[in-house]
Structure formats: C-alpha cells, structure tokens
C-alpha cells in the first residue's frame, strides 16, 4: 500500500440528501478507494457515472472497461499495484464477474464489488428490484471459498456498509460484495457523510510470498490462481497441501465470523414471532413490526424513543389495531455471508415463528430453516420486482398464526 | 546452469513443466535478456493468462501475476493504470489472446496503452492435449479437427496492427537475437506493443502441424520457411513474415491521453 | 571456451546439436535426470562463444564462459 493518512479524519460530518448509488460512490472515496473500473448497467449506473469525475478530482483513476469481466480483472490488477479498488454492477454483469471473484478469493486480493440487484434470470428485469442473487453472491464462482456480503437497506447503510466493505476486505484480504438492490440504489434519503479519507489498516495474506504485499516493492510477489504454497508455487497436484490451502482461505473468514457479523434486532426482547429480513425488505419488515405495536411511524425514530412508545401500545384495542395480538420483532441481517448462525440462533431462541420475507423464490430461508430447528420457519417469497408491503407481511403472519390456533 | 538465468529463475520451482524442446524456454531467455539489458527488473511486473506459454513468467523471481484464461490483458491494464510509471509485460498464447481474450486484445490495442505483449503462437492448445486453436493452419488434423481444420487461421500480429497497436513485430523461436531486440524495443516503445513469436510445440503441433515431433527439425523448418520483412519488398508466399511490421510513434498513448483530458478538470479544482 | 551442461535441467531435446554453427555438440553416453541422452561439447575447442546454444536451450541448462586462465 502507499502510505495511508496517519489518523482517521472524520473532521467534518454533514447531512445531505443523496441517492443510494451516489452514497456508495462517495463512501468509496472516503474509504480511500482510488481506482474504479466498470461497465454501465442498470440499476448501478449512477455509481460509475458519479465516479467518472469524482475519482479524477481526488487524484484516482477511473476507466470504463470493455465489459464486466475486464472491469473485475482491472480492479484486481490495480489492487496489486497498491490502489484500493472497486467496481459496481448488477445481475448480468455480476454473473460475468464470478470468474474473477474466485481469482480474488484464491489470490487473497482485497477488492470491493457492488451488486445492485435487479430481477433475473438473464436480462430479466433491468429496472426492478430483487434479492435473487443471494446465493450467487456466495456460490457464484466455482470451487470452495468464502465470501463476505453485506446488504444495505437505506442510503445511510449504503454509505456505511461501503466503508465497512473496504475495511473488511483489507483486513481479511478477500473480495467483499456489497449486495444492494434497486430500491436502495435509487432511493434518496438524508445521510450523514464525512470529509477527508479514512485510514484503513490492511491485513496480511495467509499465504505470504514476501513481507511486501504489493507489486514493485522488490518482494518478487507471485500471484497465482492455482492452489499454491507460501512461496506461490503450485500445489494443486498435492491432495493434503491443497486441502490445507482451501481450509486456510475459508477459515480466515469462518473463524472470524464474530468480528465480521452484523445482525441488528428490533423489539426482540420478548417477541415470540420474528421477521428475519435483509436489505430493502427489512424496511417493510420494521414498518410492519411498528404497525403491530401500534407505534406511529417515522423514519427517524430511534430505538430508545420506540421503547417508550411500546408501553403505550398494549392499551390500544384490537379494533384499532388488528395486529396488536402479534408479539412480533425484527431480526435484520446486515452481513448475509458468512452466515451469522450463532447470532440468529441466539436472537430467535424464544421464538415460535420466524418469518423470512425476501424478494426471491425463498432462498435465504433455507439457511434459516437449517439453523433454527426449534421453531416454525416460514418463507414469505415475493417475486416480480416489488417489495413486500408492511400490510402484506402482517396479513401473512396473522393468517399463519391464526391457522395454528 | 546458465549464469544469467540462474539470477532470474525461482530455483526451487525447476525443472519447468515444459516438454523437451518447447519454445517457451527460448522466449523466456529472450525476455530475460531484454529486461536485464534495459536494467528494469525491479520496475517490471509480468502478467500472464492460462496455457503453456502463460507459465513462462511463473518461474521467474519477479513480480508475477498468473491470472485467468484470456484475461491477462485486463489485469495488466488495471495494474498499468494504477502504476503508470512502471512496466508491464504480458505473456499470452494464441488461444489465450486470440480466442477467449479477443475482446481484451481489441480494446487494449485500440487504447494504445503502454503494455508489451509477447504472444506465443504455437498454433495449438498444448496444455489440454492438442486441440485446434484460432491460429491452427488450415487442414491441420488436431484432436478437435479430426477431418482437418477448416477455420481460417488468425494472424496475431496483423490483427494487432489492424486494431491500433503501435509496435508490432513477429519472429520465430529460431530468431532468438532478433526476438530479444524486438522485446527491448517493445518495452521502450510508448504505446501498445505486441511481439508475436511463432513457437514450436514438439508434442502437439509437432504432430498436427509439422508432421515431425523433433524440436530441432521444427527449428530448422521455422528458419527456412520464414523471411524477414523489409518495407516495400516483394513478399514470398507461403512463408512466415518476420520482422518489425509496424512502429508508429505518432499515436498518443492512452494514459497520456487520459491525463491530458483530465488536466483541465484537475486544474479547476 | 568453457561449456557446461546442467544434468538436472537438460531434457535432451537436441536443439543445441542442431543449431551450433561449429558443430561443437554431440550426443554422449551420459543420461540426464530424465533418463534421456545428453549432449556433450565434444569439440569444445571449436566453440566461438556465439552463445546461440545458451539462447536456444529451452531449459537454461547450458552455460558458455570464457575459460579462466590460472596464474
């Protein structure tokens, strides 16, 4: 790496109205990203548009490549040249990048890839939202590897998670995916942003060829896509060493899951019904939870304020609030991968029901079913490009609970 | 062991996986001599794709990136853009560069970005066991052209010229000295340079293309069946056209163009 | 000239025999580590030090140096 700024410098923070994609681009600059290669694709295009000039104003490099394959390759190349690098894309482009994501994982290259999800498969629904890539993001490239993926649900989270994506990728020397979707990518909200550049400390590869991690520092780095040993030499033909290598690159993420995971909970203290959601759907889910509690809805309300209001809720009659009998809370998963199994199990320990709404055919729900054996896990899939409305969620939950009684 | 190569090779990785008589070693020597002559070892990174020829840099004690199939040029451009003051040399083969990597070649040439490509053309997919490549001559019987190839073979050097590369040369493995000089010139050239090397794969193209697996036979064949091109000469047909085919110093290089265009914007800030 | 051929690197391809302008090399009874026949500088005194064999050896096995005169 080139020398970093000595101190983190959140000198001035200010509040602005930004679009999600724009916030992501601004966060990348703040996190020290100085190389962007990309290819325009809806609904992520605002990121490449914004960075085409912004990257130049901070002395970085911007290039529009010939396709998404080349974009992903270029950021890996640039990272070995010592520049923090990012690309942004959507479904079809993300599919093309899978080859290089595997390469980045095996070569322990820290890069950030933004996937603003749209409906698939294939060209699918370019302008509509989805969460259909939830498995592709983990299993998209061939072979065994681990990935870190974060799912923002607001413009503020687009900003914050992008910064964290750079921190995690540098620390664990691994590609990190910001798994946004069209809803958060295109919405505009108030967001707190920072001036300057955040200092991000880099980690080391598990398989270190030399103390120097970058090219042109005299370290004779051998960056090798085949399974390799500490010297970079291939070991693909040696079963025990190859197994050790795979365990190492998977283990460096699996073994630090406590540090990586980010799972938030709302009203889960005494809830016996949980909605488990990630990304933009968790907005609807939080809204639904508040409706059930009879809490007046406001985007800005803080947890503490809500707790006070919660006490008033119970007094409301069933006529005013048909869902007041549902003792429901929200588990919001921000790092979908590595799967935060322990944390989810802990939060849902007292639950009879866990509802998993997602904008796909019911994918992440399978992971939840696998880890929560004691309660009833119900998938609430929605495909077609629209988000679940809070009313829809509450209806489905009430129906399910009633049927059981 | 050769004294020059001893200083560059990763000794614990030897011997190379190349077959006896493979042209890759000859090209490796030429590239190393060029780097040594120019004194740019510390300032040079080597990038390669997939295939036998892409293993050439993996045995060298330098900064090396052994990437995915066809993508070497895309990785290399990222690296070059991140460190414009440094040198990047790409080792690639006829399948890697002209088939799966064709789009990246097109755009790298068109950009005229300052990268040197050594395109090792052995007319065949050697590593996978002798299948037809984009450069396989017509009528050659390979594992995937059992009735004789009927695709028109692609000419790497001519394609690079037509796409906008600004230094293009072709040599064979039987021209080690000229090859080294062209690599040196390509590295010094400010712009996209591509040096195609017609190389022998005694194991696969020896069987499919030359009808003789003896490396010495193929070397002699390459020497006798090639000619060195001089501007304005009448070109003998059916022989490999060698020499410096294009050297254009007028077309501006990509990063220079990029910096010129953004200079005004930077100044205004 | 002093010609040395590395037994561990030579793969016995025979290119050096074919391209030497002075026919310095011949196959010997020696075997390299692969078990194939190895070349030998049978007419070392004929060597003019053109280094073509060094350049053309695909395995960096050949080294040609001017002989160090003792004393």
Identify the CA nearest to B143 among candidates B166, B124, B156, B122.
B124
Both tokens assigned to C30: 């020696």
Omega before A121 within 30 of 0, i.e. cis: yes
Q: How confident is the model at residue A10 (pLDDT cuts 50, 70, 90)?
A: low
Q: How confident is the model at residue A331 (pLDDT cuts 50, 70, 90)?
A: very high
Pick from B202, B57, B262: which is nearest to A223 by CA?
Answer: B57
A213, closest residue in chain B (CA to CA): B63
Comparing CA positions, the residue from A39, A262, A67, A61 lying closest to residue A157 is A262
Position A300 pLDDT exceeds 90: no
Domain count, chain B: 1
Q: Distance (Å) from the C-alpha of residue B158 to the closest C-alpha of chain A?
A: 21
Q: Under the phi-then-psi rule, with left for phi > 0, alpha for psi from -120 to 50, and beta for the rest, what region is A83?
A: beta
- In terms of Cβ atoms closer than 10 Å to its own Cβ (0-12, 13-18, 19+), residue B58 is buried
Distances (CA, A) of B59 to A40, B24, B32: 38, 11, 11
Scan for tokens 């064999």, then name that residue: C53
Grade residue A285 by pLDDT with cuts at 50, 70 and 90. very high
* Residue-wise pLDDT tens digits, C9-21: 999 999 999 999 9
Instruction: Say yes or no for a CB contact (<8 Å) between B20 and C36.
Output: yes
- Determine the residue of chain B that is closest to A62 in CA distance: B81
Instruction: Give residue B149's pLDDT band: very low, low, confident or very high (50, 70, 90).
Output: very high
| pLDDT given at position A297 | 56
DSSP β-bridge partners for residue C25: C41
- State both tokens at B93: 């083969």
**Local confidence band at A403 (pLDDT 50, 70, 90 cut-offs):** confident
Most B CBs within 10 A among C1, C27, C36, C55, hence the mutation to make, goes to C55
Average pLDDT across chain B, whole number? 97
Contact C60 B26 (CB under 8 A): no
What number is the average pLDDT over the span A371-391? 96
More confident residue, A404 or A243: A243
Look at residue B72 in the predicted model and tell me its pLDDT. Answer: 98
The CATH number for B203's domain is: 3.40.50.970
Tell me what pLDDT residue A9 has: 45
What span, in angstroms and rounded, lies between the C-alpha atoms of B29 and A314? Answer: 82
pLDDT digits (tens, 9 = 90+) for A91-150: 999 999 999 999 999 999 999 999 999 999 999 999 999 999 999 999 999 999 999 999
Cis amide linkage into residue A43, ω under 30° from 0: yes
pLDDT at residue number A372: 97
- A219: which chain B residues are within 8 Å (Cβ-Cβ)? 63
Under 8 Å between Cβ of B221 and B210:
yes
- Which of A37, A56, A67, A73 to probe by mutation at the B interface, max B CB count within 10 Å? A73
B192: Cβ contacts below 8 Å, ≥ 6 apart: B108, B109, B111, B112, B113, B114, B115, B117, B160, B164, B165, B166, B167
Is the minimum CB–CB distance between B262 and chain C shorter than 8 Å? no
Partner residue facing C19 (CB), from B2, B18, B219: B219
pLDDT of A210 above 50: no
Q: Tell me the domain boundaries of chain C.
A: 2-65
Q: What is the mean pLDDT of residues A157-176?
A: 96
Q: At what angle do helices A20-30 and A45-57 cross, to 10 degrees?
A: 30
Q: Identify which of A263, A273, A281 has the alpha carbon closest to the alpha carbon of residue A380.
A: A281
Q: Which residues of C touch B16 (CB under 8 A)?
A: 59
Helices (H) and strands (E) in chain B, counts: 10, 10
pLDDT reported for residue A6: 41
Neighbours of A17 (CB within 10 A): 11
For the residues A198-214, what does the mean pLDDT come to? 66
Pick among A207, A215, A227, A235 to test the B interface (most B CBs inside 10 A): A215
Report the CATH superfamily, name and number, of domain A13-194.
Thiamin diphosphate (ThDP)-binding fold, Pyr/PP domains (3.40.50.970)
CB contacts, 8 Å: B77 with chain A: 63, 65, 70, 74, 77
User: Cα separation of B108 and B114, whole Å?
Assistant: 9
User: Which string of b and e fits A151-186 if b means at least 16 CB within 10 Å?
Assistant: bbbbbbbbbbbbbbbbbbbbbbbbbbbbbbbbbbbb
Angle between helices A45-57 and B254-268 (to 10 degrees): 80
Architecture of the domain whose range is A263-404: 3-Layer(aba) Sandwich (3.40)
- Look at A218-227, A393-402, B34-43 and tell me which has the smallest mean pLDDT: A218-227
Contact A226 B66 (CB under 8 A): yes
pLDDT of residue A364: 98
Contacts of C8 in chain B (CB under 8 A): 14-15
Closest CA in chain C for residue B202: C13
Residue A51 has pLDDT above 90, yes or no: yes
Chains B and C touch (3+ CB pairs under 8 A): yes
For chains A and B, CB pairs below 8 A equal 128
Count CB atoms within 10 A of the CB of residue B260. Answer: 10
Confidence of residue A319 (pLDDT cuts 50, 70, 90): low
Euclidean distance between CA atoms B42 and B6, whole angstroms: 17
Q: Where are the domains of chain A?
A: 13-194, 263-404
Report percent pLDDT > 90 for chain C. 79
Residue A338: asked if its preceding bond is cis (omega within 30°), the reply is yes
| First CA to last CA distance, chain B | 57
Q: List the single residue in A216, A219, A221 with the smallest CB-CB distance to B83.
A: A216
| Subunit contact B15:C57, Cβ cutoff 8 A | no
What is the mean pLDDT of the segment spanning A252-281? Answer: 96
| Cβ <8 Å between A77 and B107 | no
CATH of domain C2-65: 3.30.70.20
Nearest-neighbour CA in chain C from B18: distance (Å)? 9
Q: What is the mean pLDDT of chain A?
A: 91
CA distances from A227 to A246, A354, B71 (A): 8, 41, 18
pLDDT digits (tens, 9 = 90+) for A66-87: 999 999 999 999 999 999 999 9
B30-78 residue pLDDT tens? 999 999 999 999 999 999 999 999 999 999 999 999 999 999 999 999 9
Apex C15 CA angle, B212 and B29, nearest 5: 120
pLDDT at A321 (0 to 100): 86
Tens digits of per-residue pLDDT, B183-222? 999 999 999 999 999 999 999 999 999 999 999 999 999 9
Contact (CB<8Å) A66/B103: yes
Phi-psi region of A269 (alpha: psi -120 to 50; beta: other; left: phi over 0): alpha
Instruction: Give whole-number Cα distances, B199 to A71, B25, B105, B138, C58, in Å.
Output: 31, 10, 20, 17, 11
Cβ of C60 and B19 within 8 Å?
no
Packing angle, helices A155-172 and A20-30, rounded to 10: 40
Q: Output DSSP code: residue A228.
A: B
């Amino acid at each position: 790496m080139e020398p970093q700024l000595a101190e983190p410098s959140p000198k001035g923070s200010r509040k602005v109205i930004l679009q999600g994609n724009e916030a992501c681009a601004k966060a990348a600059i703040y996190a020290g990203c100085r190389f962007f290669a990309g290819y325009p694709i809806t609904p992520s295009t605002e990121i490449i548009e914004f960075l085409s000039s912004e990257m130049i104003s901070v002395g970085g490099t911007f290039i529009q490549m010939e396709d998404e394959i080349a974009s992903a390759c270029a950021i890996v190349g640039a990272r070995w040249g010592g520049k923090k690098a990012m690309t942004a894309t959507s479904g079809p482009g993300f599919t093309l990048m899978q080859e290089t994501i595997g390469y980045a994982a095996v070569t322990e290259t820290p890069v950030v890839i933004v996937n603003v999800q749209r409906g698939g498969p294939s060209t699918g629904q370019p302008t509509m939202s989805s969460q259909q890539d939830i498995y592709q993001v983990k299993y998209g490239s061939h072979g065994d590897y681990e990935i870190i993926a974060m799912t923002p649900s607001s413009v503020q989270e687009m900003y914050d998670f992008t910064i964290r994506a750079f921190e995690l990728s540098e620390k664990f020397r691994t590609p990190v995916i910001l798994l946004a979707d069209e809803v958060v990518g295109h919405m505009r909200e108030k967001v707190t942003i920072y001036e300057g550049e955040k200092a991000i400390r880099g980690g080391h590869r598990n398989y270190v060829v030399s103390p120097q991690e970058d090219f042109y520092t005299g370290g004779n780095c051998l960056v090798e896509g085949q399974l390799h040993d500490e010297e970079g030499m291939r070991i693909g033909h040696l079963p025990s060493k190859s197994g050790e290598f795979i365990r190492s690159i998977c283990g460096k993420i699996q073994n630090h899951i406590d540090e990586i995971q980010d799972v938030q909970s709302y009203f889960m203290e005494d809830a016996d019904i949980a909605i488990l959601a990630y990304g933009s759907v968790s907005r609807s889910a939080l809204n639904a939870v508040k409706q059930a509690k009879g809490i007046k809805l406001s985007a800005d309300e803080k947890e503490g304020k809500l707790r006070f209001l919660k006490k008033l809720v119970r007094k409301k009659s069933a006529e005013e609030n048909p869902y007041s009998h549902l003792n429901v809370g929200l588990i919001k998963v921000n790092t979908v991968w590595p799967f935060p199994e322990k944390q989810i199990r802990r939060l849902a320990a007292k639950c009879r029901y866990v509802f998993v709404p997602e904008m796909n055919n019911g994918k992440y729900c399978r992971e939840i079913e696998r880890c929560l054996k004691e309660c009833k896990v119900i998938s609430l899939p929605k495909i077609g490009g629209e988000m679940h409305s809070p009313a829809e969620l509450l209806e489905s939950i009430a129906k399910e609970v009633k049927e059981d009684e | 062991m050769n004294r020059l190569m001893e200083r560059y090779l990763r000794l614990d990785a030897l011997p190379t996986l190349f077959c006896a008589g493979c042209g890759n070693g000859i090209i490796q020597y030429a590239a190393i001599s060029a780097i040594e002559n120019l004194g740019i070892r510390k300032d040079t990174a080597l990038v390669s794709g997939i295939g036998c020829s892409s293993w050439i840099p993996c045995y060298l004690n330098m900064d090396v990136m052994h990437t995915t199939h066809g993508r070497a040029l895309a990785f290399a451009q990222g690296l070059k853009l991140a460190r414009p003051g440094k040198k990047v040399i790409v080792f690639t083969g006829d399948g890697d560069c002209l088939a799966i990597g064709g789009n990246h070649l097109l755009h790298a040439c068109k950009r005229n970005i300052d990268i040197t490509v050594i395109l090792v053309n052995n007319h065949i997919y050697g590593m996978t066991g002798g299948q037809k490549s984009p450069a396989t001559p017509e009528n050659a019987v390979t594992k995937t052209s059992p009735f004789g190839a009927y695709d028109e073979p692609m000419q790497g050097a001519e394609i690079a010229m037509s796409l906008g590369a600004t230094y293009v040369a072709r040599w064979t493995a039987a021209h080690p000295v000229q090859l080294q000089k062209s690599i040196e010139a390509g590295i010094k050239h400010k712009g996209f340079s591509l040096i195609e090397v017609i190389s022998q794969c005694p194991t696969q193209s020896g069987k499919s293309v030359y009808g003789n697996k003896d490396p010495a036979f193929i070397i002699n064949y390459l020497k006798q069946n090639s000619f060195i091109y001089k501007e304005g000469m009448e070109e003998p047909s059916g022989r490999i056209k060698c020499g410096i085919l294009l050297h254009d110093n007028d077309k501006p290089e990509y990063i220079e163009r990029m910096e010129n265009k953004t200079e005004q914007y930077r100044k205004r800030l | 000239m002093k010609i040395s051929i590395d037994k561990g690197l030579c793969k016995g391809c025979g290119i050096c025999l074919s391209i030497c302008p002075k026919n310095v090399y011949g196959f010997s009874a020696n075997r390299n580590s692969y078990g194939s026949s190895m070349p030998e500088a049978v007419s070392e005194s004929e060597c003019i030090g053109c280094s073509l064999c060094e350049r053309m050896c695909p395995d960096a096995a050949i080294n040609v140096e001017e002989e160090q005169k003792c004393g």
